[in-house]
Structure 1
Amino acid sequence: MRVLLVEDDADLADSLADGLRREGYLVEVARDGAAALVALAHTEADLLLLDRDLPALSGDAVCRILRQQGEPIRILMLTAAGTLDDRVAGLDLGADDYLPKPFAYVELLARMRALGRRTAEGGTVLEASGVRVDTVRRIAERDGVPLRLTRKEYGVLECLLTARGGWVEPGELLDDVWPDAEERNRGVVKAAVHTLRRKLGHPDPIDSAPGRGYRIGTGA
């Protein structure tokens, strides 16, 4: 995956870029919003890691310009402003996800993997067995009825739908939805799937199999 990292803190930018390159990402770094737009005009990137508080041109402005231009690049906004209102504002501007600083590196990687899967699949809506998720607005519904999901339940549902009928192992769900070390046990996955099933209703769209994990079939 090709990543453009836009961060004015030189030490943080260098540290993140080095780490991501070791993970196999192709990373280019821009120090401000104006430089980011120039870089995107000359190179193709799959994911934009965008600091919200940038000199010359803010991350908000960069995000707004890209969406007005119809640029489909996935945007993960990084910022020290982490209140609910801040997150909502960032998503309303067109960001695909929002990660408050300071963040755990493993969580950043998990968010990037999730956005990478969306890029590979294309589009913003995932749907199977009457279950529908809008990955930009982060809303879910079953047979047209909105679902009130927790963040973890939503994360599990999005992972299962992204697999397009394929099996998702509990370890994969832990990596993507529970990146924090203190929460990493398969019991939390089982509990989230249980409550998710209850909220999805009948017929149960989630299949499970020992040694394989979970899936949502692509049939009706």
Structure 2
Amino acid sequence: MPATFQLSKNPAVNVVVSHRADGDFNSDVVLNIVLQQRRRKLVDLPWTQLSEVHGLTSQWVNRPGEFDGETGDILGTAEIGAVLGVWVGDCAPVLLIGKHSIVAAHAGWKGLRDGVLDSAAAFMSEHGDQVIEGFVGPHIQQCCYEFGEQDLEIMVERFGKTARGCDRQGRPALDVAACIRQFFNANKVPWLESGECTGCLSDKYFSHRIRGERERHIVGVWRTS
């Protein structure tokens, strides 16, 4: 059974998070017809799910289902009934909620380093809205995310010392959640986060980093009014 959420600042926005039992949503390997069936089982509305490349390319959906399968890591829409999907294994699915629009971002460490969240917020601003709330779905937490010292220093320089964590063995780790919190705090925006670790919860989520799995779960967000 997938998990569902409603956000307090804009109750017209709904969020669904798939679990392992809902199937694989890796659009690189799953047949499109199967992908469509699985997505419709979660939310029976048109979906847009990008081919994610850890970049900053954005697509604005003006009609439900537009740009499905196109390349990018940031999706936005003001349309009612248009589901934006972010598929992840260990990266963070981050949702930005506006007064009349939504933006979804695929935020891995490279995307965070390169400013994917700032780009997502600017994308919403370009379309005449501002972020009033955020949502962070399940992703790998510091307990499972041993990280190379050189790249970790880059992240600490960008996000501050809280980006530096340690895993269960006491080794240097990246605290992705802390990096995302820094973004929301800097923008004075409240947010909701699941706090779940894709590495730890093998019964619920897929993990490339911990278990070498190619399968992916998905987070969908849409407006009902």
Task: Please say whether Structure 1 and Structure 2 have the same fold, judged by a TM-score greater than 0.5.
Answer: no
Structure having the higher Rg:
1
Higher relative contact order (CA 8 A, sep 6+): 2
Which structure has greater helix proportion?
1
Which structure has greater strand proportion?
2
